[in-house]
Structure 1
Amino acid sequence: MTSQTIEIPTALGTVRGNLRGESASFLGIPFAQPPVGELRFAAPVPFGHWEGVLDATEHGATPQRTALAEVTLIPEPTVPGPSTLNLNVFAPVDAAFGSKLPVLVWIHGGGFVAGSPASPWYDGAGFNRDGVVTVSISYRLGFDGFGWIEDAPHNRGILDWMLALQWIQDHIASFGGDPSRVTIAGQSAGGGAVLTLLAAKGAEKLFARGYSISGAAADIPLEKAEAAGRELAGKAGVEPNIAGFSSLREEQILSLQGGVGLEAGPDANDPMAPMVALVTGGLTFGPVIDGQLLTDTVENSLRNGAGADKPLVLGSTDHEFNMAMAQHEAPLAGVDPVPLLSSFGASPELIEEYRAQHAGLSTAGLLGQFITDSMFRVKTLQYAQARDEAGAPAFLYRFSWQSPTIGGACHCLDVPFFFDCLADSHVAHIAGPNPPQELADELHSEAVGLIVNGAPGWGAYTADSPLVRVYNTPSTTADNGYSEVTLLQPAATPVN
């Protein structure tokens, strides 16, 4: 389809976008000054006005510079350039003049070190069709966004999210959006961002609803973040301050950050060591409990009532990271899984119960399911339970439809169903040549239900009525749909 252009006035100046039938896209609009030079490790600074007409017909630069961009299941291209703090707006054409439509804001995933808002899957045309203005945002990644620096603000990536959301509050009306009806959504690290923003001080006024897809909050203790920052500085031979890190090229930090925190311990050369470290120790770079923006873990914050006024949908796929063990299927054939599960922190009693619960799985399959359950599914259940304890129930779901190409209901598989973009050429790789459109119709329309009405169409999860929406062909609503992961739940963290 040949694009024409459309221009609309905003308080910051006129912006030119692409007109695509009944939808218009405005790409790469800067919400902050480029994070370079003195601003590289600073809190984001609003971009302000622009001169003349801002050409927003092509994607802006992305912060993504890592090799993970080449292996992710979601096509998330890297776009070069320094002005990486930008956003994309997708709006129904008839909404460009103050229609006050609900707004969806998408925060991409990528483990807080990769990912890009420029994915064709994040095009908001499907939501525009349903009367929803859609925005995708970028943010600083890895060490630049979340690394500890002794004289720099913590959680710069969170500050980027919040400034983007403030920009939306101030300017989305020019694109037909209603700033009082903003839903934030994201997948993987983006889902973790949604949960984090529910707990972040000062973010509560910036959005009204949340939708977390496969989200697990990082909850990095400040002491761990500081140790990682000092380790990276030591590897680079610089002081752990702004001056020291500013002396390093972006490529130097990227080449070092992936190895931070992974060299300690006797099993450092074990090919499974990075996964063991991730499961047992969590992420190295991501949102930090800094005592300012974040004062507690996300789970405790939810239990204490953070974000209780905001409807929340959250869920996970049934086999998120099982695929991580697929390459080990043959080497692990016949290998006793007990010592391997022990390395992931499982007690002998838990291992016995877990093996009995998953009888028939190979050693690699058992490890993969344990990783999925530990990192995603049990956490999703705990967030829902914490909300219920605070009197703010969440709407809980599972995505169970299995990929004929990747295998299982894998990580990222539900994203094209959420955006209703099954026709995109990249979808066949993860979902096969004929993914069920009826499932996309169902999941997408129920997401629109949350965005428009504050409820997706099934009952909230509570202790008395533990309802779970199970997306499959056909979809169902089940009682206790996450019951099989309860054996992984630790004792409840005391409420402060």
Structure 2
Amino acid sequence: MAATASSESFESGPEFESGPEVRTEAGVLRGGREAGLAVFRGIPYAEPPVGPLRFAAPRPARGWDGVRPAVAYGPPPPQSGVLGASQDDAGDGWLTVNVWTPEPDPASGLPVMVWIPGGGYAMGDAALPEYDGAHLAGSGVVVVTLNYRLGVEGFARIDGAPANRGLLDQVAALRWVRDNIRAFGGDPDRVTVFGQSAGGGSVAALLAMPRAAGLFHRAVAQSVPGTFFSPELAADIAADIGAELGVRPTVPGLSAVTPARLLAAGDAIFAGTARRRERWGQITHRPIPFAPVVDGDVLPETPWRALAGGAARDVALLVGHTRDEHRLFSLIDGVLGQVTREQAETALRVLAPGADGAHRYREAFPAATDEELYELVNGDWLFRMPSLHLADAQLAGGGRAHLYELTWPAPGLGGVLGACHGLDVPLVFGNLGSGQTAALIGDPPSPEAEELSALVRGAWTAFAAHGDPGWPAYDTGHRLARLFDTPSTVAAYPEETSRLLWRDHAFPALPLLTR
């Protein structure tokens, strides 16, 4: 899709004359060189979603005259401050991409990897040091990272606005990749999307979205959340947010509210979900106020149903999870090492599948402590079984999948977190000492961590290049998976007990229980 008419003009000063240049459909960009790579940051792929464009589908970025500097990240989208996410006033150009490339030569034809950050669909910023693409790009791929609208701006069900605006942003970014990545040395016919947590859920959603068909050819879904909302549930959450603000959850009503006030209202709902348990059910146990909405249009059905129906049979899938998915959240919630029998029983009653799920869990894991059962059922419900079921659905639909589990325990923080949620991110990117991941990996990282990261990184880039990460494809007979550890092995999927407990669960769109 071509950009609209030029409305900006840039002039280059002498301090900005030596960087690599690339001509995109919107205009010329000048980036920088780092560690032998050409790096371009803060490239707009869509117009700022403010003013008349707020809560609208993304519109392609306008063109510009002259040479546009592309050496600084764009500002993060407005996002929840529940976990201390920082906000700044750097502007409203949130919808940007960043590119690392070995050589911005259209003849290079390198595989392309497009990263979708996670953060519960409420937080996320491609500028985090954990997501620096240099190590991956140094393996011979073009790496793209992106920002998309979050929270109310991106995922709330708003009357008069398209659903899943954050997902539509991702589609717009992938269209930008299709139309421009050749100039950066990438092959638009070898695009892999990859993401973790909400980013993995976004990848799963993109596999099910007709608007995304043909924009990517391989997909890596890390720790896929099983939370997708029905329109009724999403609308009820939006109504509570509107009530918090004293407005109706419509485009006119919410457009008069600043992003900061919207964030505060969303955070208030986030903090008070337990009071809404009778209406919202499972998402109040692990507070999740935002998720993709199965609206019948942007997202016609859940990823599991779509893939089982063959929606992504032509897209190679790499999917998996960590062993101890919930332990990090136990630490954040202040219950690590202190889970009571009552808390375990509540989690089993609310989250385990089937009317007798709690009993079946205790019967299936007879030696497990209350804390172990608490972590198992939380991890299975939120990440482990949704990820496994995505592989099963891909096979049912005639496609191909490779399965993995990260079993290597994080050595940082005294080793209490095990193979926790998010541990795979620094291993994939190779940024072992950057940002918050340094605490998990240990500072300095051990030779074993460096070796494991190189193995994971090599598997991801090989999959992007050839569709083969280096171990046999998953099938329902042998159920082979790569177990990433020191040493790593290929073996039967180790969570067989949980698989049997969840094998008949469909992960439907979560309903509104009562009005």
The two structures have a TM-score, normalised by structure 2, of 0.87
| Whole-Å separation in 2 of the counterparts to 1:348 and 1:165 | 42
Match of 1:32 in 2: 46
Closer, same or farther in 2 for the Cα pair 1:95/1:6, shift >3 Å?
A: closer
Closer, same or farther in 2 for the Cα pair 1:368/1:274, shift >3 Å?
A: farther
Displacement after TM superposition at 1:430 (Å): 1.3
Match of 1:341 in 2: 348
Q: Which has the higher contact order (CA 8 A, sep 6+)?
A: 2
| Whole-Å separation in 2 of the counterparts to 1:236 and 1:28 | 32
Does 2:61 align with 1:43?
no
Match of 1:308 in 2: 313
2:79 aligns with one of 65, 74, 80 = 65
| Whole-Å separation in 2 of the counterparts to 1:56 and 1:488 | 50
| Whole-Å separation in 2 of the counterparts to 1:494 and 1:155 | 19
Residue 236 of structure 1 aligns to which amino acid in structure 2? L
Match of 1:296 in 2: 301
Residue 88 of structure 1 aligns to which amino acid in structure 2? N
Displacement after TM superposition at 1:478 (Å): 0.8
Closer, same or farther in 2 for the Cα pair 1:217/1:368, shift >3 Å?
A: closer
| Whole-Å separation in 2 of the counterparts to 1:258 and 1:418 | 31
| Whole-Å separation in 2 of the counterparts to 1:405 and 1:206 | 38
Displacement after TM superposition at 1:347 (Å): 6.1
Displacement after TM superposition at 1:17 (Å): 0.9
1:12 aligns with one of 9, 26, 41 = 26
Displacement after TM superposition at 1:405 (Å): 2.4
Kept in 1: contact 2:401–2:473 (CA 8 A): yes
Kept in 2: contact 1:9–1:15 (CA 8 A): yes
| Whole-Å separation in 2 of the counterparts to 1:90 and 1:412 | 22
User: Mapping of 1:47-126 within 5 angstroms?
Assistant: 47-68=61-82, 70=84, 80-92=90-102, 94-126=103-135
Kept in 1: contact 2:30–2:69 (CA 8 A): yes
Deviations 1:26-56 (A, max 9, x none): 0000011111111111111101311211111
User: Mapping of 1:365-404 within 5 angstroms?
Assistant: 365-404=372-411
Match of 1:174 in 2: 183
1:323 aligns with one of 319, 323, 328 = 328
The gaps in structure 2 that reach 5 residues or longer are 1-15, 509-515
Match of 2:440 in 1: 430
CA-based RMSD of the aligned residues comes to 2.8
Kept in 2: contact 1:325–1:365 (CA 8 A): no
Closer, same or farther in 2 for the Cα pair 1:79/1:185, shift >3 Å?
A: farther
Displacement after TM superposition at 1:99 (Å): 1.1
Match of 2:254 in 1: 245
| Whole-Å separation in 2 of the counterparts to 1:304 and 1:27 | 38
- The size of the alignment, in residue pairs, is 485
Closer, same or farther in 2 for the Cα pair 1:228/1:423, shift >3 Å?
A: closer
Displacement after TM superposition at 1:228 (Å): 1.7
1:411 aligns with one of 421, 434, 445 = 421
1:223 aligns with one of 212, 220, 232 = 232
Deviations 1:355-389 (A, max 9, x none): 35445554333312221111111111111111111
- For the residue of structure 2 that corresponds to 1:194, the secondary structure is helix
Displacement after TM superposition at 1:262 (Å): 7.1
Displacement after TM superposition at 1:153 (Å): 1.3
| Whole-Å separation in 2 of the counterparts to 1:18 and 1:39 | 31
Displacement after TM superposition at 1:98 (Å): 3.2
Q: Which stretch shows the higher mean deviation, 232-241 or 342-351?
A: 342-351
Q: Which stretch shows the higher mean deviation, 391-400 or 225-234?
A: 225-234
Kept in 1: contact 2:351–2:381 (CA 8 A): no
Deviations 1:428-476 (A, max 9, x none): 2111233421111111101111100011111111112311110000001
- For the residue of structure 2 that corresponds to 1:455, the secondary structure is coil
| Whole-Å separation in 2 of the counterparts to 1:296 and 1:55 | 41
| Whole-Å separation in 1 of the counterparts to 2:212 and 2:129 | 28
User: Mapping of 1:207-286 within 5 angstroms?
Assistant: 207-260=216-269, 263=272, 268=275, 277-278=282-283, 283-286=288-291
| Whole-Å separation in 1 of the counterparts to 2:64 and 2:402 | 41
Closer, same or farther in 2 for the Cα pair 1:334/1:451, shift >3 Å?
A: closer
